[in-house]
Structure 1
Amino acid sequence: MSLVVEAMVKTLTEHVFTALMNQAEFALDFSGQFEQLKTGLDLTKALLADTESLNHKNNIVKAALFELREVIYKADDVLTDCLVRDEYRKDGSCSGSLFHDPFFLHRTGKKLKDINLRMKEIEQTLGKFLRAPDNIHREDAYQVRVMVSQDWNPTEIIGLDSDVEKIKGWLFDTSKVLSHVGIVGMGGLGKTTIAQEIFHDLEVIMRSILEGLGENASGAGVTQILSRIQQVLKDKSCLIVMDDVWNQTDVDWWTNLCSVIPKQSSCIILTTRNEEAVIGMGVESSRIHRPKTLNDEESWRLFSKFAFPTSKGLCPEDRLEKLGKELLKKCGGLPLAIKTIGSLLASKVDSPSQWRRVLESFHALTTEGKTSSVMASLRLSYDELPPGLKQCLLCFSIYPEDYEIRADQLIHWWIGEGLVQSKGSRTAVEVGYEYLAELISRCLVEIVKQRGFDGRVYKCKIHDMVRELIIMITEEEELCCFDKQGRQKLTANTRWLCFIDEMEEKSLKRSSKLRALLMMSSRRFDFERNSLRSLRMLDLSNCNVDEHYVKDLFSWISSLKRLASLNLSGIQALKEVPSSIHKLLNL
């Protein structure tokens, strides 16, 4: 939760600072309270920078972080109300509005005092632990996630032969001097396996070279072989494999390393989940290889190797094959997921009923940690994201499985939620597309459709396993709630919701904390004015609304003063936008 709270604190601090610098009217009305709020946010941000202590947070710190998040949401509501009220003043349309209220100043001042008081209490609680990590009870700490690569085993290489041959072709291309090759893809796709296959294959070649030059290679390890070859083949060629590169390496160090590598026909192979990292280290776009997921036949072969080890990869009965292939559809061709699920089922080959239970509760398995290697691998990619991008990625959790998401729809939600702001000369929309491109380059989001001349993304989606990961995290953060089948459930604390026909309308009306609502229902709703007042994003692009309901619908929408993003593209009965929409000055 600390990372999401950190992003929220940063965003709110920027908004308050901007208001104070611009001397907004509301900031003058409550100058002392907003100054105090900014000071409190700055102190909290400093405490949250104590990442070492946060990695071992106990239950008291967790509770304080949860309380801090609730206070930040309340502060954001107050700030939004003040901003909208200022817009009404400028527009001259304050009369008759929700904010034409003689008690507004008194009520808002009281809210700000309460927020600042609660902020101070939270700071005092956090300060006891984040400044004194030795006092933290280690038994309450989260476990540190560590990924350890499996030992290389050539019998496990399935579906990667063409990848290996393609890169070998690049390695032995004599037209290149010092060649850089990048292998880019999401966690668990097989990048390391490809690099290991090439490296171990070339180890055999290096031994042959050494022996052919009259040197004895018996008993020598890779390091000794390389040392001897370096002496024998000065200024000729070599191969370096750097696995799992996260960020662009220090420029000076990287430049010095490349300067001493023999240039003639030498090659450096880099594997990464971040395409920008290898580009920054000198890899040409034409030399970036992106492994594909396994096809159905390859997936089944890999699954069988781990699920049926006692029968040497042969499925003992048809029922297991049918269930296994159904389960593989959930893995989406991701080798790491297939291996993990296959290993899990290996001890259950005598019980098809247990296989069926695994299939039916696949979502529960991931959230309960029974496929921890898959989640740990993908979690690494998530943990490496900046805090703001983490929240942007979590937004994907509410979309149905395999749903193709319109990029503009998603980005306008990010903007409405305050996750994306303009930067310098770049608009918020432009920054939003940059954020999306970053998530794509880190292999957490997949492109479905993009524009030809500049590559701008029109539609995107996420891999099923990435969805399982972010569902798990949004539940940890208490932003959303899901059932064992991965379907969203509506609770009183839900902040983001994709509403479908199976959900109860009464529960929706009581969701006062809801900030984002994506309607995917054909039902008619009778919302009362001023219900769901905290909404920042309302998307009706997938909602059928008849012409008789349009007037009532807009009567409700026009009361959503905090609304910052509205999508009406699905309302085919809408002839023109009612004039009442001009009341929404936060859009």
Structure 2
Amino acid sequence: MVDAVVSVCLERLFKVLVKEGNVLLGYRDQFQKVQTDLQYMKSFFKDAERLKRKDEVLKCTLADLRELVYEVEDILAECQLLSDSSGKLLHGFSPIKVPSKYQMGKRLGEISEKITSIRNNILTFLGPLSQSIHGNAQEDGPPRWSSPIYDHTQVVGLEGDTKKLKDWLFQVDNSGILSIGVVGMGGLGKTTVAQTVFNEKEVELHFEKRIWVSVSQKFSEDQIMRSILRNLGDVNVGDDRGDLLKRINQYLLGKRFLIVLDDVWSEDTSWWTRIFAGLPKGIGGCIIVTTRIENVARKMGVQEARIHQPKVLSEGHSWSLFCNVAFAEHYGTCTSTELECVGKEIVSKCKGLPLAIKAVGGMMLCKPPYYREWRRIADHFREELTDLEDNSVMASLQCSYDELPSYLKSCLLSLSIYPEDCEISKDQLVRWWIGEGFVPVRNGRLATEASEDCFSGLTNRCLVEVVEWEYNGKISTCKVHDMVRDLVIQIANDESFSGLSAAHRRHLGLTTDIKEKEMVTSKKLRALISTSKSGEVNKIASCVGSKFCDFKYLRVLDLSKSIFGVSLASLLDKIGNLKHLTCFNLNNTHPLTQVPLTLEKLHNLQILDLSYCQSLRSLPPFVMTFENLLVLDVSHCGSLEFLPRGLEKLSNLQVLLGFKPAKVEGGGSRFSELRSLSQLRILELQLTRADEIDDGETDALNGLKEMQILTISCFNSFESDKVISKLEKICPPMQLHELSLKLYPGKISPRWLNPASLPMLRYLSMCGGNLAQLNKSFWGNDETTWKIKGLKLDSLSHLNLKWEMIQRVMPSLSTVHACWSPELTSFPIEGVGFRGGVWKQDRNS
């Protein structure tokens, strides 16, 4: 992965040499020489990354180069710490550090010579520059698609499989529990079949309780039972096995239930025998097991007549699935006979396996639609098939990885630290990527926006699976197919990104069973990330203590969802030692009552996430001195009254969540300070009282030209009339892309919520509150109609709306999420009057 490491280093060198040249402490010429050598070699790396798998000498040479580049980054970071942007020594710089400064310069010179030597020798490994390099010269530019374009909910060629399973499900009698097995090789679509059936509306209505359990290769009986209970809404982490099974029985007693056990490997099924014995019988329950091993299904009680083995996709279905992905821009239609010829050749090598087809389809979606480029990739795929003994799934995944832009390779390898079947938060990922510099920021793009593009780059290539969508088309959580994960872990281990070699790895997942030895030996760590599975709590063992504070070059520290086994104050007491820290995540951390004061030393901080820290009472004033801060998240911090004064100093802030303006006499940041945040892209505003916004401050949002997403939440509005009056005067920026109103206290929507005032609005959400009708201005006129694509109406018990009215003023509407709003009438959603649902319109209609 030397190409990705070099790309990050060059990005940082470029920034420092151009914008912060005075911080180099006399090493400018040496850094420029390193930059020149790396820039020259960068054009060779795409070939080198592939060839090193066959050439051990080249592999070792690139590994040496990777370690040297990491050292260059570390020295560059030290220079930035020792000087401010004027080149002056920072306050507190001690003369004792002068010898270390000399040693730093000497080491940089040695590194520079070694890199030059590698540059001079690299052609002996690679020979003439290949044609493929020139075709990828723009790989570090903007992604081809900067938002999700492929609809992951589409299923092709599995209609017969799903019908067969549904027929079995609805034949269940009340004499016992029916067990069904879905058996087949990896990448065949077993999980997709089970998921499709699980999510069918008929199935949802038939079974009162539906439970999905991902069974990893490493699991315990307790974990399986706790996962079942989490599906049933019980997150209690206590009790022994007997009590867990008793609670499961109580939840399911007298109810029809469906349990899916996905991806079972172990042939020792004694754990399931015990759980099965404790399930209530005679009520129409059903179990679906997906596994690669037929004997596993049999041992879990599946009869021969109820084992289904999905077949590979037919030639026609294979081509259809490929087109849905590769030509998603054209709604699945191939527009070129030349590309169709090459595309069918590629698809034929996938042997009907959906995972392989989607991987190559996603790769082609993100490539220019030129015959020469497609021909090159077809040849690359053929070579990989030869090297991997005709394993079409692994060949397609390896080819997809090889063809990634360098910055996306780092993003993909970050998935290697998460446990099997873990649901991964998109926000956690993209903030990590920003903090570590994986995200290239070019042409004035904001880092937070560019990071979203990187995530879309992986989803469009079908390298990550979507777990949860939001109404606005955004993805909130994802996971990794086990075969993708196998490849990612292998590469991450080989490249010392993460993995088995504790002495060399740069990234480590923080889990409940982490050992002190792992922490002590991982001295080169750049990122330490909490990787608890969804619904689990990560309890950091006392033996770990504050070991992470010894990691001199740590950039990203994520302790989210943690309950500490030691005093939190003592654990974070040395956090100020992490001078290079750029991303600090304490999301949902307990018991956090105040930010550690040593945090004041972290002047490089770009991301501070304190969300869901319900006991957090205040933020120290020094947080407002972090000039590099891009993201400040204090959402869902119920005890936090306001932010300290000085918000206007955070001129680079792009995301501000949970902002509670201080009252006039409160002494904290006022609403008017938002005017200075010219880079602000996302704002979540929380209002309680009318005096939190003065009459002279209501225009504070007008000049925020970068703002795209605005959420306004109103809480405890005992003086609702005054709050409504103040909200009427706050007009969001005209370029707003997404608006969310939560617990709006008024009965009529604000006048500014109309298509003329918000012509660029694409997504609108209204949740809770007293809304009974929409202002007359909302409906526009013959010349002004909404361009909204996604609409969410949630818990609006008084709002009376007809579908025909919405359809008339929102002709571009494609997605509606409506629930718990009994006065909505004639909506195209089954049961909307009493419960709700989601309606999606086909883009072709």
TM-score by length of 2: 0.42
Q: 2:113 aligns with which of 117, 120, 133?
A: 117
In structure 2, do the counterparts of structure 1 residues 508 and 529 end up closer, same or farther at CA, with 3 Å as the change threshold?
closer
Counterpart mapping for 1:6-405 below 5 A: 6-27=3-24, 29-48=26-45, 50=47, 54=51, 57-87=54-84, 94-96=90-92, 101-131=97-127, 159-161=158-160, 188-189=188-189, 194=313, 196-197=315-316, 257=337, 272-273=358-359, 274=361, 372-405=391-424
Q: Which amino acid aligns with 2:582?
A: A
What SS is found at the alignment partner of 2:540?
coil
Do the aligned residues in 2 keep the contact of 1:490 with 1:508 (CA within 8 Å)? no
Do the aligned residues in 2 keep the contact of 1:422 with 1:428 (CA within 8 Å)? yes
Q: Which amino acid aligns with 2:160?
A: D
**Aligned mates of 2:576, 2:86 — CA distance in 1:** 18
Counterpart mapping for 1:562-577 below 5 A: 562-577=580-595
In structure 2, do the counterparts of structure 1 residues 84 and 195 end up closer, same or farther at CA, with 3 Å as the change threshold?
farther
Do the aligned residues in 2 keep the contact of 1:490 with 1:497 (CA within 8 Å)? no
In structure 2, do the counterparts of structure 1 residues 518 and 535 end up closer, same or farther at CA, with 3 Å as the change threshold?
same
In structure 2, do the counterparts of structure 1 residues 87 and 543 end up closer, same or farther at CA, with 3 Å as the change threshold?
farther
Q: Which amino acid aligns with 1:405?
A: I
**Aligned mates of 1:53, 1:379 — CA distance in 2:** 10
In structure 2, do the counterparts of structure 1 residues 496 and 242 end up closer, same or farther at CA, with 3 Å as the change threshold?
closer
What SS is found at the alignment partner of 1:535?
coil
**Aligned mates of 1:379, 1:529 — CA distance in 2:** 34
In structure 2, do the counterparts of structure 1 residues 456 and 241 end up closer, same or farther at CA, with 3 Å as the change threshold?
closer
Do the aligned residues in 1 keep the contact of 2:46 with 2:402 (CA within 8 Å)? no
How far residue 505 of structure 1 moved from its aligned partner, in angstroms, is 0.5
**Match of 1:512?**
523
Q: Deviations over 1:285-341 (max 9, x none)?
A: xxxxxxxxxxxxxxxxxxxxxxxxxxxxxxxxxxxxxxxxxxxxxxxxxxxxxxxxx
**Aligned mates of 2:50, 2:395 — CA distance in 1:** 21
**Match of 2:546?**
527
Relative to its length, the structure with more strand (as a share) is: 2
Q: How many residues align?
A: 395
Higher mean displacement: 459-468 or 98-107: 98-107
**Aligned mates of 1:95, 1:560 — CA distance in 2:** 17
The answer on 1:494 being equivalent to 2:505 is yes
Q: Which amino acid aligns with 1:553?
A: L
Q: Which amino acid aligns with 1:510?
A: T
Instruction: Point out which structure has higher relative CO (alpha carbons under 8 A, 6+ apart).
Output: 1
The CA RMSD measured in Å over matched residues stands at 4.2
Q: Which amino acid aligns with 1:10?
A: S
Q: Deviations over 1:366-402 (max 9, x none)?
A: xx98994442243333333222212211111111111
The answer on 1:472 being equivalent to 2:468 is no
In structure 2, do the counterparts of structure 1 residues 102 and 500 end up closer, same or farther at CA, with 3 Å as the change threshold?
same
Q: Deviations over 1:14-61 (max 9, x none)?
A: 221222222521236212111111111122213325559836752221
How far residue 67 of structure 1 moved from its aligned partner, in angstroms, is 0.1
**Aligned mates of 1:421, 1:12 — CA distance in 2:** 11
Q: Which amino acid aligns with 2:315?
A: Q
**Aligned mates of 2:486, 2:539 — CA distance in 1:** 23
In structure 2, do the counterparts of structure 1 residues 503 and 397 end up closer, same or farther at CA, with 3 Å as the change threshold?
same
How far residue 276 of structure 1 moved from its aligned partner, in angstroms, is 9.1
Q: 2:439 aligns with which of 398, 409, 420?
A: 420
Do the aligned residues in 2 keep the contact of 1:496 with 1:515 (CA within 8 Å)? yes
How far residue 113 of structure 1 moved from its aligned partner, in angstroms, is 0.6
In structure 2, do the counterparts of structure 1 residues 578 and 377 end up closer, same or farther at CA, with 3 Å as the change threshold?
same
**Match of 1:409?**
428
Do the aligned residues in 2 keep the contact of 1:272 with 1:278 (CA within 8 Å)? no
For structure 1, list consecutive stretches of 5 or more residues without a partner in the other structure. Answer: 135-156, 165-185, 200-239, 259-269, 283-367, 482-488
How far residue 275 of structure 1 moved from its aligned partner, in angstroms, is 5.7
**Match of 1:445?**
464
In structure 2, do the counterparts of structure 1 residues 195 and 433 end up closer, same or farther at CA, with 3 Å as the change threshold?
farther
Do the aligned residues in 1 keep the contact of 2:21 with 2:28 (CA within 8 Å)? no
In structure 2, do the counterparts of structure 1 residues 530 and 499 end up closer, same or farther at CA, with 3 Å as the change threshold?
closer
In structure 2, do the counterparts of structure 1 residues 19 and 88 end up closer, same or farther at CA, with 3 Å as the change threshold?
closer
In structure 2, do the counterparts of structure 1 residues 197 and 369 end up closer, same or farther at CA, with 3 Å as the change threshold?
closer
In structure 2, do the counterparts of structure 1 residues 19 and 582 end up closer, same or farther at CA, with 3 Å as the change threshold?
same
- Indicate the percent of aligned positions where both proteins have the same amino acid: 31
How far residue 424 of structure 1 moved from its aligned partner, in angstroms, is 2.6
What SS is found at the alignment partner of 1:10?
helix
Do the aligned residues in 2 keep the contact of 1:195 with 1:241 (CA within 8 Å)? no
**Aligned mates of 1:102, 1:529 — CA distance in 2:** 27
In structure 2, do the counterparts of structure 1 residues 130 and 557 end up closer, same or farther at CA, with 3 Å as the change threshold?
same
Q: Which amino acid aligns with 1:478?
A: S
TM-score by length of 1: 0.58
What SS is found at the alignment partner of 2:574?
helix
Do the aligned residues in 2 keep the contact of 1:545 with 1:572 (CA within 8 Å)? yes
**Aligned mates of 1:69, 1:414 — CA distance in 2:** 19
Q: Which amino acid aligns with 1:390?
A: K
In structure 2, do the counterparts of structure 1 residues 99 and 577 end up closer, same or farther at CA, with 3 Å as the change threshold?
farther
In structure 2, do the counterparts of structure 1 residues 44 and 121 end up closer, same or farther at CA, with 3 Å as the change threshold?
same
Do the aligned residues in 1 keep the contact of 2:433 with 2:439 (CA within 8 Å)? yes
Q: Which amino acid aligns with 1:130?
A: L
What SS is found at the alignment partner of 1:29?
coil
**Aligned mates of 1:475, 1:56 — CA distance in 2:** 14
Do the aligned residues in 1 keep the contact of 2:423 with 2:477 (CA within 8 Å)? yes
How far residue 256 of structure 1 moved from its aligned partner, in angstroms, is 6.8
What SS is found at the alignment partner of 1:538?
strand
Counterpart mapping for 1:548-559 below 5 A: 549-559=567-577
**Match of 1:560?**
578
In structure 2, do the counterparts of structure 1 residues 577 and 100 end up closer, same or farther at CA, with 3 Å as the change threshold?
farther
